[in-house]
Structure 1
Amino acid sequence: MKKILFTLAMMLTFALLLVGCGSSDASSGSSSDSSAEETKEITIGYFPNINHVPAMVAKSEGYYEDRLGDNIKIKYQTFPDGASFMDALKTGEIEAGLVGPGPAMNNYTNGADVKIIAAGSTGGTVVLARDGSGIETVEDIASKTFITPRVGCTHDVQFETYMKELGITSKRINGTMIHQTGKPATYQAMFETGKVDVAVAPEPWASVLQQKTGAKVIIPADEVSFGKTLPASVLVTSGSLIEENPELIQNIVDAHKDATDFINENPEEAKAIAINDIKEITNQELSKEVIDGSWENIGFTYEVDEEAIQAFGDSSYDLEFLKEKPDFEDLIDTQFID
């Protein structure tokens, strides 16, 4: 009887040891899984204008979160112009985002590590004259003051290309037009105080100028140089990030494509999202009429017209924004949208 009791006690002790070992292994595995699921942060950049609605929609509908998964936290950062956006991309402050093709091209030619991976929109650049400026035709702009977001930005190149074909250039290249720069959200005040005569305005600010100040459209969005073919915004990232994590970039592009499809399938909902997002960023609430007018001047697509981008770059060189004639073959990487 004692032998039986001793044997049972030994078996129970051994069983308890096994349970203890199993518990230890499970705890170890849980710790490892927790480490593997460490949250990372990705920041997407964009501007508060209608050409950048895909980013606003992706933000509102959670498309980046859906595509990138629970272990990646998505942040959004807005910029007033392409120069500040590109500085953020080069320093790693943002991983990807929407910017005008001009800043992307200019920085690429200066050696920046930037890749265009999709288009965002087309059109949207409108040239308007201030009421009372005396400007009735394009030729009247010759000695007037015009404003763009930055020197050599997308809108600036479109306008100056158009004007140069008419033999009219800015003082920067020995012409007569006077150039100022400023945030598009301030153009209304600039018109109302008479500080500038012409605004080269991205939407929705072009429609704001028409409705709020009585500005006259001198060059419509579909007539300004490259207005029908050039991507007005492009989705960019760095070449190093493409090499390091192509799966991440594919998910970013897929989320961008989801947003573009949403805009084209649900325009009224996309307009409401744009109104809310722009108000949150700029403290300016745009009317539905302004947004409707803007929408007529813009198309949304993720397909990239590579020939149009090269032609735009050649014109930037011709206008002396670039020191060397560019070759954009390695700037554009369409593998993620094909």
Structure 2
Amino acid sequence: MNIRTRTISTITALGVSAMMLTGCATASGAAEPEASADTSPAAELRLGYFANVTHAPALVGLQEGLFADALGDTKLTTSVFNAGPAAVEALTAGAIDATFIGPNPSINTFIQSGGESAVVVAGAATGGAALVVRDGIDSPADLEGTTLASPQLGNTQDVALRAWLADEGYETDTSGGGDVHITPTENAQTLTLFQQGQLDGAWLPEPWVSRLVVDAGAHVLVDEAELWEDGAFPTTVLLVNKTFLAEHPETIEALLEGELASIDWIAEHPDETAGVINAQLTADTGKALDDAVIDRALDHVVFSADPHAEAFSTLVENGLEAGTQKDGSIDGLFDLAILNGLLKKAGAEPVSAGGLGTE
């Protein structure tokens, strides 16, 4: 299988091995988060993620045991979500400690809590989202009166869809009214409804874009990459409960070691990546993706620990325009100190918080 996975490798294999040998000790050069003097590795880390190709660093890290290796004696338990708002609800309720998630729900919880709920400690993926539509829709002008789906109200693709429609002159509202009707729908149900002719299209992450294209005959009207400079827009980040980070920085460092090892593994095993992702998807959902679907999906996603913080001000504007978030500051949303300590130790370039937090 010739997988053309475009991956930005943030560390070398040698760097990963060296970091794994250090266990959960704080990486050289990493600034410590504010914490009490009695911080220690957590007995358990509860991690959320989605069964999406845009969450491949989580899927590969779990399937290959890279998170477990890095976490050592810390027990890892996982929860699978369909979209970001549900994951944020679990994080806020204390049901999970960290989650791979889209940027807009991360922004929402940060603003709504006055910066107290959670922080972004790394990126995971860019790209891999698009508006796919039925035959007969060939331009934005054809969308008036149509019904489109998004994964969940206020999730990253939902916000992108609403903001794009507004730029095209369409009015929408969060109750499904307006010139174009938006119906937040679970991804698998979106595929079924599209096949039944009950939806005209959807703005989705991979692999659901590719599933509608390959399995249901949809075509791409808008590739979100075309809307961003250099095609780079954050799709998945790693969000951590702020209290958990303060109490267990060693555990979050280990989690980041596992993520970096996973990103590096993807870069070094392009011909095996699809199979490993499919193995985890089968474990999570009971079904693997067809080769044509996963090949197409992987070709549209880039994996990197860079969260592309420079894009988040635009994402805030989009959320406000879409009516799915409150106005507020995102200063402090990023805490990249531990990540950059690991990157420095591996001889890699640090990533930027874009003036919105700790580097």
TM-score bucket (shorter structure): 0.7 to 0.9
Q: Give SS of 1:264's match.
A: helix
1:172 Cα deviation after fit: 4.0
| Residue of structure 2 equivalent to 1:245 | 248
> 2:168 pairs with 162, 166, 169, which one?
166
* Alignment deviations for residues 239-288 of structure 1 (CA, whole Å, 9 cap, x no partner): 11121121111111111111111112212222111112222322332111
1:80 maps onto 2:72 in alignment: no
| Residue of structure 2 equivalent to 1:121 | 125
Return the alpha-carbon distance in structure 1 between the equivalents of residues 222 and 51 of structure 2.
23
1:315-326 correspondence runs (5 A): 315-324=318-327, 326=328
Q: Give SS of 2:149's match.
A: strand
1:140 Cα deviation after fit: 0.9
1:313 maps onto 2:316 in alignment: yes
Structural RMSD (CA): 2.1
1:130 Cα deviation after fit: 2.0
1:268-279 correspondence runs (5 A): 268-279=271-282
| Residue of structure 2 equivalent to 1:266 | 269
1:85 Cα deviation after fit: 0.9
> 2:305 pairs with 302, 307, 322, which one?
302
* Alignment deviations for residues 209-254 of structure 1 (CA, whole Å, 9 cap, x no partner): 1111111111124224689332101101111112112111111111
Return the alpha-carbon distance in structure 2 between the equivalents of residues 294 and 39 of structure 1.
35
Match for 2:103: what amino acid? P
Q: 1:53 to 1:227 in 2, by over 3 A?
A: farther
Match for 1:167: what amino acid? G
| Residue of structure 1 equivalent to 2:196 | 193
Match for 1:210: what amino acid? V
Match for 2:168: what amino acid? L
Return the alpha-carbon distance in structure 2 between the equivalents of residues 122 and 75 of structure 1.
26
Q: 1:169–1:177: 8 Å Cα contact kept in structure 2?
A: yes
Aligned length: 298
Q: Give SS of 1:74's match.
A: strand
Match for 2:286: what amino acid? N
TM-score by length of 2: 0.78
| Residue of structure 1 equivalent to 2:154 | 152
Match for 2:237: what amino acid? V
Range with bigger deviation, 314-323 or 328-337: 314-323
Return the alpha-carbon distance in structure 1 between the equivalents of residues 167 and 237 of structure 2.
26
Q: Give SS of 1:289's match.
A: helix
Q: Identity of counterpart residues, as a percentage?
A: 27
1:125 Cα deviation after fit: 0.7
Q: 1:171 to 1:95 in 2, by over 3 A?
A: closer
| Residue of structure 2 equivalent to 1:61 | 64
Choose between structure 1 and 2: higher helix proportion. Answer: 1
Unaligned runs of 5+ in 1: 1-37
Q: 1:107 to 1:39 in 2, by over 3 A?
A: closer
Return the alpha-carbon distance in structure 1 between the equivalents of residues 111 and 169 of structure 2.
27
Greater Rg over alpha carbons, structure = 1
Q: Give SS of 1:188's match.
A: helix
Q: 1:44–1:75: 8 Å Cα contact kept in structure 2?
A: yes
Q: 1:89–1:96: 8 Å Cα contact kept in structure 2?
A: yes
Structure 1 runs of 4+ aligned residues shifted over 6 Å read none
Return the alpha-carbon distance in structure 2 between the equivalents of residues 322 and 75 of structure 1.
30
Q: 2:225–2:232: 8 Å Cα contact kept in structure 1?
A: no
Q: Give SS of 2:226's match.
A: coil
Q: 1:231 to 1:39 in 2, by over 3 A?
A: closer
> 1:139 pairs with 138, 141, 144, which one?
141
Q: 2:60–2:280: 8 Å Cα contact kept in structure 1?
A: no
Return the alpha-carbon distance in structure 1 between the equivalents of residues 307 and 144 of structure 2.
34
Q: 2:126–2:233: 8 Å Cα contact kept in structure 1?
A: yes
Return the alpha-carbon distance in structure 1 between the equivalents of residues 43 and 308 of structure 2.
33
1:87-126 correspondence runs (5 A): 87-111=89-113, 113-126=117-130
Answer 1 or 2: higher relative contact order, Cα 8 Å, separation at least 6. Answer: 2
TM-score by length of 1: 0.83
* Alignment deviations for residues 46-76 of structure 1 (CA, whole Å, 9 cap, x no partner): 000001111111111211222121x211122
Q: Give SS of 1:150's match.
A: coil
Q: 1:113–1:238: 8 Å Cα contact kept in structure 2?
A: yes
Q: 2:123–2:306: 8 Å Cα contact kept in structure 1?
A: yes
Unaligned runs of 5+ in 2: 1-40, 341-359
